[in-house]
Structure 1
Amino acid sequence: MQETELKLELAQAGASLLLKENPFACTPTIRRQRSVYYDTQEWDLSQRGLSLCIRQCGNERTQIVKSGDGSAAEALTREEWALPVAEDTPVLDNPQIQAQLAGTADRLAPLFEVRVKRHRWSITEGDATIDVAMDVGKVVAADREAQLCEIVLERKTGSPTALFALTRKLNLITPASIGVLTKADRGYRLIGPARGAVKASVTPLAADMNAATAFARLASACLKQFRLNEMVLSWSRDTEALHQARVALRRLRSLFSICKPLFTDSRFDHLRDELRWLASELGDARNIDVMIKSTTSEELLRCLQEARSDAYGAAGAALSSVRARALMIDLAEWISIRDWRSDEAGKALLAQPARQFASRILDKLWKKVAKGGSNLIDLDDETRHEVRITAKKLRYAAEFFGPLYESKQETKRHKRFIVAMGGLQDHLGSLNDLATAPDMLSKLQLSEVADTEPFSADDKEKLLHAAAEAHDIFVDTKRFWR
């Protein structure tokens, strides 16, 4: 069966506040639960996008198998198979799950446990009936453990928009962030290597997908990448995590721009503007990090490190703001509900094959980069920056839609195309750093600090010729979608 749910992350103080205020206007049931998660030593189930646990509550045990990555923004539904069991031993002969678990029966072993105190309410929100479960506890694996505090809103009847309406009410009482980690995810992260910055990964797309489904899946992946890096930044001023958080926002903004023909509702422009705002709030910290890597002046380095501390403080304040949390909730709802078009022509556009839509977009962007960068050396900084932005969109579009082009020849061409795009982007990025560094130094009131040569235009001619050469390589590289 399918479950329709939305996961929220809370601080433990927030959970205590919700219990004190009890906005659900009814008394919760309280149970303690212990869930033992099973997998092979090679994590076969995790690699298949599955989790298997046996949950004990009192004297009752239930085996639960779930599919999906827990990314609430992509789709509110996940497949779930529940089966009463007598003991802590997986039962694998259920016809509903045999195919999913094939080849693992003799190798399954307990890897970690989740122990929580669960408060549960059943409430009415608008036209919907919603089960609310707040879990406070920990994930335990051998001698390691991690705290857990989350709320899961599960829609039983009515519109899924009620889940987001309730989320906004809770967020007014205590900070509530869209959750992108399942309990299984938390366990695997606990027993695996320490996690830092999270880079974008390939999002699986199927040839029979329509444009709307492809967009929702890609947007969800961007949102998940951002939230994972935001979590790292909540406890560490990690340079790469900040960079990858900005990359995730930039990828999502580019996806919005690339797929703009799919949307007509007024929320599109607002969400894109809010994404621009949040990315800009992280911009100073990222620019300072880039300059710190380049400077050889001890005095300038000291000044930049002081400025970095202030910039990261401002970035942290933005990320934890009401505005940023509201943006994540709005995005998750907009991506998952998918009510972007109401007219028949618009619905037909959403339903068109994703590959057909992607090929048209890739062609359009390729022509703009090929033409706009044909004379890179003689362009002014502003025009060259516009070429850089378009090239970035093309690179992202190629990464987004690459899985739709599956033949052996298309796969080879895709790899070569990404390499060519990467070379062009690197050179255009270096030129942009040269162009923007003086303004950044001026903003930080560091223009007069000695030895600022690393941010001068001394290397500009060399970079310009390298960029022009990279553009020639890009134009000569075969397009994988044609």
Structure 2
Amino acid sequence: MTVAVDSVTLDFELPAEAAGRLRRLPAIAALRSGRARGATTSTMWFDTADGRLAAEGLVVETPARGPRLLLRTLPEATETWHPARPPAVLRRLAPDELPEEAGGDALAAIAAFAGRQQSFRLDSPHGAVQAVLQDGKLRSLATEKAAARLSLSGPMPAVLAAARGIAAELPLLPPLAALAEEGRALAMSLPARAHRLGAPDTSAATTAEEAFLVAAGHLVEVVRQQSARIRQDAPPEPVHQTRVALRRLRSVFRVFRATTDCAVLRTLDGKFRDVLTVLGPARDWDVFLGGIIRQVEAAFPEEKRIAALRRAAEAQRRDAYAAVLAMLGGAPWRLLLIDAVEMLLTRPWRDGVEPERLAMLGAPVAEFGRSVMDRRWHRLRRAGGDFEALPAEALHELRLDGKRLRYAAEVFAPVFGAKAGRRFLRRVAALQEGLGLANDAAVARGLAAKLAKPGDGGRAWAVGVIEGWSEARVVANRGDALQAWRQLHGRDRFWSEG
């Protein structure tokens, strides 16, 4: 069973320009004890010529001082993970030793880091924290870039308090990739591979609590990864995937509420809901511009009134993205990520919990998953019992029930077997897509109304076209939702024992 730890090491990244300000922060200066130690530092990373180690998420690290190490820089898919976790040291290597994972092939340097390392101690009411700041440049044969990393080690409350004190003033965040992985990516002129993306893999979990930790830790990491890719000039996908990850995470909180409910999780859930509120308008304008506006433009390619409506919508999108970026650049966002890491490390749902809840935490994950999936499945089937006669409001609620079922299925499908789970998820997704058209149309009508200008007949015409087009799509596609509903049969219940 995974257990909470009393001491911890957490890694963070800082912009290079912020690293020089770290030790001067009042929150840090007040806690510093003794003299800081500074020295030059350098590290080289090695792989085979064909990248065999990297393909397995491994690298050989050789620092100027200290042992040669085989590191896991990319965690295994089923491993319990949380942001800010340092790369795992698999073993020490002799100076000329080839790890067996290299398959007998020689190693070559792929990237290096060189710069300054400063070590200093922070004494807090929670205990002593050892801080190590590396500030320098990542280098490959062809290029280089600035990089700074901060490692904090010590009693968990002290480390978390120090991280919060820094994050309140400087853009301190969990790293998107291990430094060695960033070096490899620099050398290959590729993006660094993310620790986690997509839906969680709970196939190795044995208890309800383990499944929660795997799923929640995975999704907090995905939120960090996807939100970091949001830019004004970026495609819509990062905003969309950040919202998906947050919705999945909040669904995990609800799926496991019978076992992990506590004030800390409810507070986190509320804060993540507020983040979704900021992301929502950006996503809505992305869908509006990439969906119905594009379709109407194709139907009226030379219509200036539609082109003017697009320009007005693009201005609204820029404002919505500015609000998102302001949120992501602020201290509350950084502190929220640290709060989420603390939740994963300390497991507050165990504080003062009664024996019955402890037993539920240790329940077999398959047993727990069946009970959750049965409840959500029967709720969906009851809500859609007279599908063809349901009014728009009931179809909207049915869509939400389908979404809840789908998110729960994503958590438990790996436990019961991927193949049957994939088929079920495809059919629930088809139902959601069919039912989602009505919701998309309602959103599009609301956005179009926001673009109306009093006294502007051309704008009124364009808004009317959008509203009519939206309604026509709903009528034309209602049959798709009905077909998807009929295809969602009881035999698709991958979690059923019968």
* 1:327 alignment partner, one of 327, 330, 336: 336
1:106 aligns with 2:102: no
Q: Which amino acid aligns with 1:185?
A: E
Q: Which amino acid aligns with 2:251?
A: S
1:66 aligns with 2:71: yes
Identify the residue that residue 357 of structure 1 maps to in structure 2.
368
C-alpha distance in structure 1 between counterparts of 2:114 and 2:447, whole Å: 49
C-alpha distance in structure 1 between counterparts of 2:462 and 2:192, whole Å: 34
Q: Which amino acid aligns with 1:336?
A: L
Alpha-carbon displacement from aligned partner over 1:351-377 (angstroms, at most 9, x marks no partner): 112222222212222222222233344
Identify the residue that residue 180 of structure 2 maps to in structure 1.
184
Identify the residue that residue 95 of structure 1 maps to in structure 2.
none
Q: 1:188 to 1:429 in 2, by over 3 A?
A: farther
C-alpha distance in structure 2 between counterparts of 1:476 and 1:343, whole Å: 36
Identify the residue that residue 348 of structure 1 maps to in structure 2.
359
Q: 1:192 to 1:222 in 2, by over 3 A?
A: farther
TM-score, normalised relative to structure 2: 0.84
TM-score, normalised relative to structure 1: 0.87
Q: How does 1:69-468 map to 2 (within 5 A)?
A: 69=74, 73=82, 79-81=88-90, 83=92, 85-86=94-95, 89=96, 91-92=97-98, 101-102=100-101, 104-155=103-154, 158=155, 160-192=156-188, 194-195=190-191, 200-207=197-204, 209-233=206-230, 236-293=233-290, 294-295=292-293, 296=297, 297-341=306-350, 342-406=353-417, 411-445=418-452, 448-452=459-463, 453-455=465-467, 456-468=470-482
C-alpha distance in structure 2 between counterparts of 1:84 and 1:446, whole Å: 70
My pick for the range that moved more, 249-258 or 199-208, is 199-208
Q: Where does structure 1 lack aligned partners over 5 or more consecutive residues?
A: 93-97
My pick for the range that moved more, 231-240 or 277-286, is 231-240
Contact 2:45 2:62 in 1 (8 A): yes
Q: 1:218 to 1:49 in 2, by over 3 A?
A: farther
Q: What is the percentage of aligned positions where both structures have the same residue?
A: 24
Alpha-carbon displacement from aligned partner over 1:16-39 (angstroms, at most 9, x marks no partner): 221333524233211222222122
Aligned residues: 461
Contact 1:128 1:162 in 2 (8 A): yes
Contact 1:300 1:449 in 2 (8 A): no
Identify the residue that residue 301 of structure 2 maps to in structure 1.
none
Contact 1:54 1:63 in 2 (8 A): yes
Q: Which amino acid aligns with 1:36?
A: M
Contact 2:226 2:239 in 1 (8 A): yes
Q: Where does structure 2 lack aligned partners over 5 or more consecutive residues?
A: 298-305
Q: 1:438 to 1:418 in 2, by over 3 A?
A: same
